[in-house]
């Protein structure tokens, strides 16, 4: 069935078009994921949301100062989520140009025009804990970094905690692991990890190339017999990749500087997708005629896994606010669209099979009527035919040699009449 479906000219080109579109969309988001930054704003501020002693109405910023890291220095230094790195900051390098000031629980940096061209700053930044001994309880453990050009409209560009959902970095305003050492620099680098990039972007591109473009090439070059085996091999690769990535997610969170690490959520999502791919190769290998039904159930399963990932990452309260965002709605609409397309194909196949069964039923009724008339008109001949068939059956039971079929060309032993 799969080879026949792929050989249909209309379906072949539609399938190839969809695969090319999917690859283009994933590639676009993948390129955006590697092009993050803190923007090009005139003003940046860090707002203290909660201190170590539990106060949610702090009166001071809870830090000594903060700084922004230049993108080119971040890339060359290989900045990570923790460790001692060399910061290149607007505050330290351009002290004579940038201005830092404190307003209540917020600390602000005002940058001149020459320092805020887009691409100047990367996504990483840092804070420095207060230097005064005995001030540990006043340290900010939940905070938000914002940017603005007019001091009226502020855009969140960083925070004390974050999670990654595909290409999006979601700042959750959770707790950061702030050291008690005085005057300590803490780097906050929410750059998309390589593990996420490989699992959420490179693996899907390979899947679309493997199951879409390469299978079409097999059909075009008349190698249909390899299509099913090639698809099964691709699904095996995806399943193994999910298991490897699940382990990598756990390893990635080792030594995490955030108090909430999401290795369990990402690993659960990866293992769940791996099971979906295993189910796919089982369906294609043993239940090929139900492939479209698997595609429907697989899309539903992946949609549910995506919702489970959001709940595990953000909890129920934050989940309900994020799930209505544009990025989440696009993802849901994509899953619903896949379900709708393959559901339409499945229902069409059910309709065709049903109409074929009705046609056979009508033909069988006509056959029964003709047979009844024939039996009434040629009763002696029909009775003789019955005795002949019974004798053949009896001989087949008594003869130990392999069964053979008699026909007019080969003939056979004389039969009783």
Domains of the chain by residue range: 2-31+194-352, 43-188, 384-417
Q: What percent of the chain stands above pLDDT 90?
A: 17
Q: Residue 356's pLDDT is what?
A: 85
Q: Per the structure block, which two tokens stand in for 56?
A: 């949610």
Q: What percent of the chain stands above pLDDT 70?
A: 68
pLDDT, tens digit (0-9, with 9 covering 90-100), for 3-14: 565 556 666 676
Q: Mean per-residue pLDDT for 212-227?
A: 68
Q: Residue 251's pLDDT is what?
A: 81
DSSP readout, 293-309?
HHHHHHHHHHHHHHHHH
Range name among 99-103, 190-194, 238-242 with the lowest pLDDT average: 190-194
Under the banding of pLDDT at 50, 70 and 90, the label for residue 29 is low
Q: Is residue 130 a contact partner of residue 64, using CB atoms and an 8 Å limit?
A: yes
Q: Residue 90's pLDDT is what?
A: 45
Is the confidence at residue 76, as pLDDT, over 50? Answer: no
Q: Residue 91's pLDDT is what?
A: 44
Residue 204 CA to chain centroid, in angstroms?
8
Q: What is the pTM of this model?
A: 0.67
Residues in the chain: 417
CA-based max dimension of the chain: 119
Q: What are phi and psi of 60, to 5 degrees?
A: -130, 165
CA gap 195, 91 in Å, rounded: 32
CA gap 266, 272 in Å, rounded: 10
Q: Residue 270's pLDDT is what?
A: 92
Q: Mean per-residue pLDDT for 349-371?
A: 85
Is the confidence at residue 219, as pLDDT, over 60? Answer: yes
Q: Which residue has the higher pLDDT, 121 or 104?
A: 104
């Amino acid at each position: 069935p799969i080879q026949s479906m792929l050989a249909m000219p209309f379906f072949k080109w539609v399938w190839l078009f969809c695969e090319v579109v999917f690859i283009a969309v994933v590639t676009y988001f993948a390129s955006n994921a590697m092009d993050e930054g803190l923007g090009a704003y005139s003003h940046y501020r860090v707002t203290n949301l909660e201190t170590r002693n539990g106060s949610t109405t702090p009166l001071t910023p809870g830090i000594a100062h903060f700084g922004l890291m230049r993108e080119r220095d971040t890339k060359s230094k290989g900045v990570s989520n923790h460790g001692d790195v060399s910061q290149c900051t607007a505050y330290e390098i351009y002290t004579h140009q940038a201005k830092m000031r404190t307003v209540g629980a917020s600390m602000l940096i005002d940058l001149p025009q020459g320092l805020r061209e887009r691409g100047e700053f990367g996504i990483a930044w840092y804070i420095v804990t207060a230097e005064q001994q005995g001030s540990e309880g006043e340290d900010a453990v939940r905070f938000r970094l914002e940017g603005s050009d007019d001091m009226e409209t502020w855009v969140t560009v960083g925070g004390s905690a974050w999670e990654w959902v595909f290409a999006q970095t979601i700042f959750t305003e959770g707790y950061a692991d702030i050291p008690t050492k005085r005057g300590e620099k803490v780097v906050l680098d929410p750059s998309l990890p390589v593990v996420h990039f490989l699992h959420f972007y490179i693996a899907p591109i390979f899947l679309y190339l493997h199951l879409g473009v390469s299978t079409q090439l097999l059909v075009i070059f008349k190698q249909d017999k390899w299509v099913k085996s090639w698809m099964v091999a691709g699904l095996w690769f995806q399943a193994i990749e999910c298991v490897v990535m699940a382990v990598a997610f756990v390893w990635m969170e080792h030594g995490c500087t955030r108090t909430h690490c999401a290795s369990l959520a990402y690993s659960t999502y990866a293992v769940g997708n791996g099971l979906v791919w295993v189910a796919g190769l089982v369906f294609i290998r043993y239940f090929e005629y139900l492939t479209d039904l698997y595609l429907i159930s697989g899309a539903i399963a992946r949609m549910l896994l995506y919702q489970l990932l959001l709940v595990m990452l953000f909890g129920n309260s934050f989940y309900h606010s994020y799930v209505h965002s544009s990025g989440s709605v696009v993802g849901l609409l994509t899953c619903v669209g896949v379900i709708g397309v393959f559901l339409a194909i499945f229902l069409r196949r059910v309709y065709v099979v049903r109409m074929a069964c009705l046609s056979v039923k009508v033909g069988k009724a006509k056959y029964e009527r003709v047979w009844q008339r024939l039996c009434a008109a040629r009763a002696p001949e029909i009775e003789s035919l019955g005795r002949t068939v019974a004798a053949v059956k009896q001989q087949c039971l008594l003869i130990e040699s392999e069964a053979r079929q008699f026909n007019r060309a080969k003939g056979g032993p004389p039969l009783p009449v």
